[in-house]
Structure 1
Amino acid sequence: MLTAMRRLASTWFAKALFLLLVLSFAIWGIEDVVRNFGNGNAVATVNGDPIELPEAQLASRREIARIQRQLGSNFQVTPQIAEGVSRQAVENLVMERVQRQEANRLGVAAPDAAVRDYVWSIPAFQGADGRFSRPLMEGFLRGNGMTEGEFLVLLRSDLQRQQLAGAIRAGAAGPDALTRPLLAWQQERRLADLVVLPLAEAPEPAAPDDAQLRRFHENNPDRFSSPEYRRVTVLTLSPAIVAAEVQPSEDDLRAAYEARRAQFEVPEKRALEQAVMQSQDAANKVAAEWRAGAAFPAIEALAQQQGGQAVSLGTVGRDELPVPELATAAFALPPDGVSDPVQTAFGWHVLKVTGIQPAQSRSFDQVRAELAVDVTREKAADLAYERANEVEDALAGGATLEEVGQRFGLPVAKLVVDARGQTQDGTPAQLNLDGGGRDVALRAIFTAETGQAPRLAEAGQVGLFAFDLQDVMPAALRPFDQVRDQVLAAWTADARRRSQEERAAALLGAVRGGKSLPDAAREAGLAPRRVGPFPRQADAQGDGRNSPPPELLAPLFDTAEGQATMAEIGGGFAVGQVAGIIRPDTAADPLGLGRVRTEVEQAMLSDLEAQYLEALRRGASVSVNPTLMGQVSAR
């Protein structure tokens, strides 16, 4: 047999077949290259300037990370959200290119000195002393996955954009024809007569019969239906679940102690007072007085007489003193000791030690329990990560959630649950997840379709979960006999509401028929009251007694003087009649005019900048590679 195969392999037919097979595999293996030949690696080009795929993917990841920081750990990035964020990230890169090219065309530049000053002025990069801190900047760069060079390029582009925008914004002014009417509109006050009809004061309706209640039950199915329930099996995995498997060894604890020794050692601190003088002679006088027993107030007065000053530095450690010479002098003194004058760039310093807090160190035995908790938590997090990989492999291999839970000792819950996380008997479902993680799991369960293969997903920062949706039980109208009491209560509430609405409508009709609201109210046995003058905005600071309900504010300001309006408010209805309009004298309020003018100008400037950028975008030649665009959101 082998001899026959060798003989066949040596024929021209076999060689041709082998060559065809090699070519086929070659083409299949480089399909992407062949298909995209000539397209390059650019997701988009802006006037010939390419935006490469890695740059677009990095921008997308940064944007998603920013959104997650803003919205918290409960925010779940779905494929649709990732695609939308990626498209916006690419559009942001396009606009950045457009503005940079326009700045280059106009010769707008950002000198290195301007970029440096810009970096130093960023508040997030300033330490406790108000000065630029490189470690803070490096931490920011690490957290955002950026190099210093990339960050400086972004800042330079931003400075160029600011110069372009500044040129567009310059010169815009809010005209009086707009600011005066706007100020008058804002400061207008109104008086109104008001009648409130609370639902609690509605007359008791006549008792309904069963036929009325059954009709009400059938006509309002959403109020008397059970919610949608879903039958689901949920598996959870978290560091807290696997922590019982972690037993840190003595070596682990001692290694952690050595790695964190600085946390358990408190260096010596000293309470210091300091006088800073401009000459050595003046400093010697202060030191002599201090050693002679002068109190600090006397030293303060003497220092001022000699052209210097004295201050208390509080309790500080050696590394908290900014000048090494001062730290050396301060920590060499005995209690209540006074130093010889020490010269620095700030002048001549005299220090006095008023108290000493000795260095403290907690031994390994003292912090053993604390270390055990921390090490267990860290190792549990590592174990949970390893276990997650094993669980994913098992699920991919076709194992059920029950089999995976039994194999790896993970909790598996079989539940019938609604979207609020309640079981059919009204008790909270046991999902083995807390807080935001529970909410993430419920949202995933109620957006899934039956038949989907279970897979691990993140439940915020608290753990992972996978679920198998077996059945969806739609919302259904509960039998009347089961909910008769609820139907009666709802029918009664509706009757009360309808009664008060009719009374309010009758008052409104009486006013429109020529009566005043107070007269119509008194005829109906109701008590009106006068409110105001009140502004357009609800009085957040007041008790509300001198203004109408918030729901009635806008309708009253849309109503002519002498006319009435009504609105449904919390717990009832309200009817109001405009009794007077107080219009302001805008000429007598220059500060108000200035404030409104500033608001108008800012709005105009923002509109001008937006229109300018839109014009730049329309004038640019932008092309997008749809194939590569789909890869931007790949995670």
Structure 2
Amino acid sequence: MLTALRRLASTWLAKLLFVLLILSFAIWGIEDIVRNFGRDGAVARVGGEAIELPEAQMAARREMQRIQRQLGGAMEITPQMSGAIARQSVESLVMDRVQRQEAARLRLAAPEAALRDYVFSIPSFQSVDGRFSRPVFDSFLRNNNLTEPAFLQLLRADLERQQMVGAVRAGASGPETLVRPLLAWERERRVANLVRLPLAAAAEPGAPTPEQLARFHENNPDRFSSPEYRRYSVAVLSPEVLAPEIEVSEADLRAAYEQRRSQFETPERRTIEQAVMLSEEAARAVAEQWRGGTDFAAIEAAARAAGGQAVSLGTTDREGMPLPELADAAFSLAAGGVSDPLQTPFGWHVVKVVSVEAGDDRGFEAVKGQVAAAVKQERALDIAYDRANQVEDVLAGGTPLAEAAQRFGLGFATVTTDSGGRTPDRGAAELPLAGGARDIALRAIFEAQPGEMPRLVEAGQTALFAFTIDEVIPPALRPLAEVEDAVRSGWTRDARRRSQEERAAALLAAVKGGQSLADAARQAGLAVQRTAPFGRGPAQGQPQPLPAELLGPVFSTPLNQATMAETAEGFAVAEVAQVLPFDPDQDQLALGQTRGTVEQAMLADLEQQYLSALRARAEVTYNAEMLGQVTAP
């Protein structure tokens, strides 16, 4: 038998089977490589350089954090917004690659010294004394999920970009053929004849008939309809909801108090002055003068004359003192006391206690309730995170929301409200959420479609909520009898508006027919006001002689012609009485400022055109499948 097997193993068929067996095990061991062979795992490629998925996701995450910091975390990020942020982040990475490749092609480089000076010059990384602060810098890196090498690489790329863009922007200047007409246009002033027709001055219309009221009610449903209401159930999981069920022992409270003791203690503070001298003899002389009642200005002069100095340390507690030895000396004296000379590596010190602010130590019993609330909040937060998984599981299994809320002790309410949380009787609904979390929940409820399965959604930083929509009550025209007073008031205001609009239109027609505005107004029994000269924009610190709604139309109207506009008060008609041109040569400073503004706009356009050209020239490809995996959590 063994002989037969040996003979079979030596045949070409057996050898082929062994080769196939070995290949099958090899392919099984590198399954992922074989399966993905020929597939591109990059989100995008710029000139063959890959932008990998982790880098794109990190960029999207940083952009999301930046947006949330700006908005204070009060906005709920929808999937559509997340996708847009992700795409924008990828495009930013693409433009970064495009510029880096162009910098490499031009052989641009940012010296290390320039990079260091650039970092040190960023105001956000400086302490109050204007120096670079390493702790501030490290905090910035942590908050933005950046390593120091990665951040420095970003800055290096920015310096290289500035070199490229600087070359493009250099030499551009604002042409006089544009600067002078623009300044003349901006500084042109006008004088107008003005007739105001406020609604309050309109003749009182007659009482509306029932038919007129009914027609006005029907023709303005948006003004007299109830808003969309929704009847929904909402369950809330938050530390505030769970805190009442948590019991804290006396021992735990005392331990928590000890941990937080510094929060309930106000240390003693003292206002301290000190003199630092070169020798013990000079220090003793200063101490004697101080004890004799010499004021601080004289002590400063005496210390300076002896080669030392006297300074005020301000008001500080023991921890704020620069040296432990000085702290011991200063906090052992009574108010007004002066210490004996004390030697430190910096010289011989004499300190004086100008005043003493007593500290305050609130005992355990005084803050017991505050400590208990803080401990319950912390424990409730831990419980909330653990319980959230259980709630999600039972909701996914089809458990009704009310049953899940009862089982896990969630805040629960079933209400009918509009999108602002007001009930049909216009009162505020009682929801187990408040503030920004309440607004987030209401927005989600009124954007959802009926029939959606409940799931836990974040509302702020610590609260989670789930909801079901039981009924959608669409907007409906309220019965006339219910809103008759509002309809009558609206009809009256509308009648006054029509009356004043007709009078304003008649004035405008008269001016277009050849009359002056003064004559047309006099015939209509209206007053004409001659305005002071005014510009295109409101003058700072001065009353605007013309309604804001008329500024644009008046500067578009020829001399001796009129225009009209509806204003906040009613209507107004203005006739251009004078056009006061501006000579740019009268104000060289304004001419220079306008030239600078034009140049900056031109430079920005040049830069944008240059970057657009680089982008168009670059070979950029996107992987749609991988791009869909870039999300901003």
User: The TM-score by the shorter chain falls in which range?
Assistant: 0.7 to 0.9
1:205 maps to 2:209: no
From 553, 556, 564, the counterpart of 1:555: 553
Partner of 2:589: 591
| Separation of aligned partners in 2, 1:604 and 1:431 | 55
1:412-456 deviation digits (Å, cap 9, x = unpaired): 222222223222222222222222222222221221111111111
1:521-560 deviation digits (Å, cap 9, x = unpaired): 121111111112112112453344xx11111111111111
Partner of 2:255: 255
Partner of 1:37: 37
AA of the residue aligned to 1:624:
Y
Q: Is contact 2:563–2:573 with CA below 8 Å preserved after alignment?
A: yes
- Change in CA separation of 1:99 and 1:34 when aligned onto 2, cut-off 3 Å: same
Partner of 2:3: none
CA shift, 1:341, in A, is 8.2
Identity between Structure 1 and Structure 2 (%): 58
AA of the residue aligned to 1:598:
G
| Separation of aligned partners in 2, 1:632 and 1:459 | 24
Partner of 2:182: 182
Partner of 1:489: 489
CA shift, 1:401, in A, is 1.1
- Change in CA separation of 1:401 and 1:477 when aligned onto 2, cut-off 3 Å: same
| Separation of aligned partners in 2, 1:415 and 1:43 | 46
**CA RMSD across the alignment:** 3.1
Taking the TM superposition and a 5 Å limit, the aligned residue runs for 1:323-362 are 336-338=337-339, 340=341, 351-357=351-357, 361-362=361-362
- Change in CA separation of 1:608 and 1:126 when aligned onto 2, cut-off 3 Å: same
CA shift, 1:212, in A, is 2.9
1:114-158 deviation digits (Å, cap 9, x = unpaired): 333333333232233333222222222222222222222222222
- Change in CA separation of 1:284 and 1:118 when aligned onto 2, cut-off 3 Å: farther
AA of the residue aligned to 1:525:
G
Partner of 1:371: 371
1:149 maps to 2:142: no
AA of the residue aligned to 1:501:
E
Partner of 1:127: 127
| Separation of aligned partners in 1, 2:551 and 2:569 | 17
Moved more, 573-582 or 257-266: 257-266
Partner of 1:512: 512
Unaligned runs of 5+ in 1: 1-22
Taking the TM superposition and a 5 Å limit, the aligned residue runs for 1:31-430 are 36-266=36-266, 269-275=269-275, 289-290=289-290, 292-302=292-302, 310-321=310-321, 336-338=337-339, 340=341, 351-357=351-357, 361-430=361-430
Q: Is contact 1:229–1:419 with CA below 8 Å preserved after alignment?
A: yes
CA shift, 1:199, in A, is 0.8
| Separation of aligned partners in 1, 2:526 and 2:31 | 83
CA shift, 1:30, in A, is 10
| Separation of aligned partners in 1, 2:323 and 2:605 | 51
Taking the TM superposition and a 5 Å limit, the aligned residue runs for 1:500-579 are 500-539=500-539, 541-544=541-544, 547-579=545-577
| Separation of aligned partners in 2, 1:465 and 1:616 | 48
CA shift, 1:293, in A, is 3.7
| Separation of aligned partners in 1, 2:345 and 2:590 | 52
Q: Is contact 1:73–1:436 with CA below 8 Å preserved after alignment?
A: no
Q: Is contact 2:280–2:341 with CA below 8 Å preserved after alignment?
A: no
| Separation of aligned partners in 2, 1:351 and 1:107 | 61
Partner of 1:8: none
- Change in CA separation of 1:33 and 1:420 when aligned onto 2, cut-off 3 Å: farther
AA of the residue aligned to 1:337:
V
- Change in CA separation of 1:426 and 1:360 when aligned onto 2, cut-off 3 Å: closer
- Change in CA separation of 1:81 and 1:318 when aligned onto 2, cut-off 3 Å: same
AA of the residue aligned to 1:215:
R
CA shift, 1:201, in A, is 1.3
- Change in CA separation of 1:270 and 1:478 when aligned onto 2, cut-off 3 Å: closer
Q: Is contact 2:269–2:316 with CA below 8 Å preserved after alignment?
A: yes
AA of the residue aligned to 2:472:
V
Moved more, 390-399 or 245-254: 245-254
Moved more, 328-337 or 98-107: 328-337
| Separation of aligned partners in 2, 1:349 and 1:612 | 64
Taking the TM superposition and a 5 Å limit, the aligned residue runs for 1:3-14 are none
Q: Is contact 2:235–2:401 with CA below 8 Å preserved after alignment?
A: yes
1:341-369 deviation digits (Å, cap 9, x = unpaired): 86878x98764443455676554444433
AA of the residue aligned to 1:414:
T
